[in-house]
Amino acid sequence: MGFAFWLDPTFRLVAVGSALIGAVGGVLGTFALLRRQSLLGDAMSHAALPGIVLAFLLVGSRDLPLLLAGASLSAWLGALLVVLITHRSRIRPDAALGLILSVFFGFGIVLLTVAQRQPTAAQAGLERFLFGQAAMMLQRDVEGIALATVLILVVVLLLWKEFKALAFDPAFAAAIGLPVMALDVLLTTLIVLAIALGLQAVGVVLMSAVLVAPAAAARQWTHRLERMVILAGGFGALSGVLGTLLSGWIGLPTGPMIALCASGIALFSLLFAPRRGLVWAVQLPRGKRDAGPSG
């Protein structure tokens, strides 16, 4: 079997859509990683499932924009509850994330079971949002993903200095008069939007890999934030293309292949990245290893 399927316009469409999702996931995942909020993306992606099913049950349609709107609202509610639990109780952030993830995902599975027992056949296919089904992408879906990607990247560029201050030193950002809470809400909103974009291709279970793995890989190759963001976006896009390519070649689901490619790039970087990889760490004296990322 060769790579003749690359000539298929549908296959190229899926590859482009997956690359865009990976790129925007890598860019936003960088800020989440630096703020030690990587698990927040995991919790929000799982929290999106009940929103998808509720949107279907309420409107009785599998219209993708409506389902993704429900997913965004549900993920937003999950993020808000994490913040409230953390600030209004003695529960630690990691415990709050685990609680919201399990409760929302369990509730989503229950709702999915209820939806599948409806007398109509229209509900068939909702389960694809668990692990994604990139092959279902249409041209209008990819156009919507492209538009949202451009908007997200424009916002990141316009607020680059503010997001950088928020990522490295929120206390300093507040001291110089930046609206830290508003910036935090905006950054969380962008992450929620990125998660909603990737649900069809990667699914709620694996979307966190698209957010975390490219950023973790880029972290090993540089200590400059600008380069880290660019590398993370590039690694995410590469994971999307490679995952789609291997999926078509081997005949396995695209979403898991994208997640495996992203994880593979992260593992390779962890082992072999110059001066920061584990292989280098064995050879170099401690004082000659690179420091953490800087602005």
Q: Using 50, 70 and 90 to split pLDDT, how confident is the model at 286?
A: low
**Structure confidence at residue 1 (pLDDT):** 43
Higher-scoring residue by pLDDT: 98, 292: 98
**Band of pLDDT at residue 20, cut at 50, 70 and 90:** very high
pLDDT in tens, 187-214: 988 998 898 888 878 888 788 889 999 9
Longest dimension (CA), the chain: 67
Q: What is the pLDDT of residues 104-130, one digit of tens each?
A: 999 998 988 888 777 654 555 677 777
CB 13 within 8 A of CB 139: yes
Place of tokens 């507040």: 174
- Residue 45 has a pLDDT of 86
pTM of the model: 0.85
**Residues whose CB is less than 8 angstroms from the CB of residue 52 and which lie 6 or more positions away in sequence, other chains included:** 67, 68, 70, 71, 74, 108, 126, 129, 199
- pLDDT, average across residues 248-262: 87
Grouping H, G, I as helix, E, B as strand and the rest as coil, residue 61 is coil
Per-residue pLDDT of 143-183, as tens digits, reads: 889 999 999 999 999 999 999 998 888 888 889 889 988 89
Residue with the bigger pLDDT between 281 and 134: it is 134
For the chain, the average pLDDT equals 84
Instruction: Judge whether residue 235 has pLDDT over 90.
Output: yes
In the prediction, which pLDDT does 231 show?
Answer: 96
CB 74 within 8 A of CB 104: yes
For residue 89, the tally of other CB atoms under 10 A from its CB is: 10
pLDDT tier for residue 25 given thresholds of 50, 70 and 90: very high
Q: What structural domains and CATH numbers belong to the chain?
A: 4-280 (1.10.3470.10)
